[in-house]
Amino acid sequence: MKRLGKVLLYISLGLVAVFQIFPIIWLFLFSLKNNQEIFSGSPFALPTEFRWENYLKVWEGGIGTYFWNSVWITGLAIIFTVLFASMATFAITRMKWKYSGLVLGLFMVGLMIPIHSAIIPLFSMFLKVSLIDNPWSIVLTYTAYNLPITIMILLGFYYTLPREIEEAAIIDGCSIHRMFFRIILPMTAPVMSTTVIINMIYNWNEFVFVNTFISSDKFKTLTVGIQNFIGQYMTDWGAIGATLIISVLPILIAFIFFSNKVVEGISSSAVKG
């Protein structure tokens, strides 16, 4: 009975995997077809000819700019978020000061605020400081909104770190700043990898902030820039499919290679003692 249950479990998981993977495979085949194959043939049929020129067409049409904007804006926001969250978590969990609990509570309040409820105040603030249609408005917004969840993930792991390591470092004459960057930060690499992936998924797929704060094509990211291709290639659905594959591919690759790191980081941060 135990073996039968395991077989049924694997069969069920295999079916779930097929249903999860099939839309991506279908979209990839869609991106290699022309309009005639898409509308006249079966949606599940293989393309009669693999039209890789669809990818070249959209890349030359400007999607490379949107892709690069997504890469550097996402990367910069992740660096700021993880670094500032690590500093805040270190100060809250490893240092004794009067208002540490209050500061932690203020960060946790950020988890209860709907992400897009502050669009109008943010727009007004960025307008006053001339950051509208400036990619730094997106970087700052991503950093601020991702700090609470990043700190929450880091908290459990920081509480498990043995204080004897810090005491030994202080006895050897290590300063607080050097201790943080040379000792504590490298020790938190497993949980930091979790926060990096979570931040990457949110930043890469975010649409509303970019659509609200950015108007110039040269600063748009993939999620917003794809709209331009829908209008530009209204009769070329294969090219539109190619833009969608290009936008999905980085997140898919990150998930395939680092999904175990996410589980490992969350598990390690959930265990105390």
258: in domain: yes
Please state at what angle helix 135-160 crosses helix 64-94, rounded to 10 degrees: 40
User: Tell me, what CATH number does 173's domain have?
Assistant: 1.10.3720.10
Residue 14, domain member (yes or no): no
Q: How far is it, in rounded angstroms, from Cα 149 to Cα 266? A: 12
Is residue 56, in this structure, part of any structural domain at all?
no
Range of the domain at 257: 62-270
Q: Residue-wise pLDDT tens for the chain (273 aa)?
A: 778 888 888 899 899 988 888 888 888 988 888 878 877 777 778 888 888 888 888 888 778 889 999 999 999 999 999 999 999 999 998 888 888 889 999 998 888 888 778 899 999 999 999 999 999 999 999 999 999 999 998 988 888 888 888 888 888 888 888 888 888 888 888 888 889 988 998 999 899 999 999 989 889 998 888 777 666 545 677 888 888 888 888 888 887 777 666 666 555 555 444
Torsion 184-189-194-195 (CA) sign: positive
74 closest CA partner among 221, 265, 247, 193: 221
Domain tally, the chain = 1
Torsions phi, psi of 89, nearest 5? -65, -40
Q: Is residue 210 part of a domain?
A: yes
What number of other Cβ atoms are within 10 A of residue 101's Cβ? 10
